[in-house]
Amino acid sequence: MKASGDVPKVSLETQEYENGQWITIQGVFRVYPNFADSVSAHTQLFLYGTTWNAKQYAPVLSATDYKTAAKAVQSSGYATDPTYADKLINMIETYHLNQYDKSSTI
């Protein structure tokens, strides 16, 4: 995740899509002490949005299937890649990850 403020962070080269073309920039990313903290922070981002828009990812959370969720991730501004949703959907389908979407009763 991108970082700001007084938190542990690292600057890494990354690709962004701007004005119809790919550019390489130095992105500042948050560093977490462990995997669990990283997953927790990512979850918090989707649940509570950003400091400037608490409902930014609400369409992702209200999606009822993976294709709608992937498109909502893209349209919510999570990534600049204009084909981000298509790439997510392709990965889900290639590796049959949607098999884990089935609900079960206990």
Q: What pLDDT is attached to residue 102?
A: 80
Contacts (Cβ under 8 Å, ≥6 apart) of 29: 1, 2, 3, 9, 10, 11, 12, 14
Whether residue 55 is contained in a domain is answered as yes
Give the residue ranges of DSSP H helices in 7-83.
35-48, 58-61, 66-75
Q: What pLDDT is attached to residue 106?
A: 62
How does pLDDT run across 39-65, given as a tens digit for each residue? 999 999 999 999 999 999 999 999 999
What confidence tier does 104 reach under pLDDT thresholds 50, 70, 90?
Answer: low
Given a cut of 90, whether residue 95 has pLDDT beyond it is: yes
Strand partners, 13: 26
Given a cut of 70, whether residue 105 has pLDDT beyond it is: no
The number of domains in the chain is 1
pTM: 0.84
Q: What CATH number does the domain containing 71 carry?
A: 1.10.530.10
CA 89, CA 80: separation in Å to the nearest integer?
16
Q: What pLDDT is attached to residue 81?
A: 97
- Domain region containing 83: 50-106
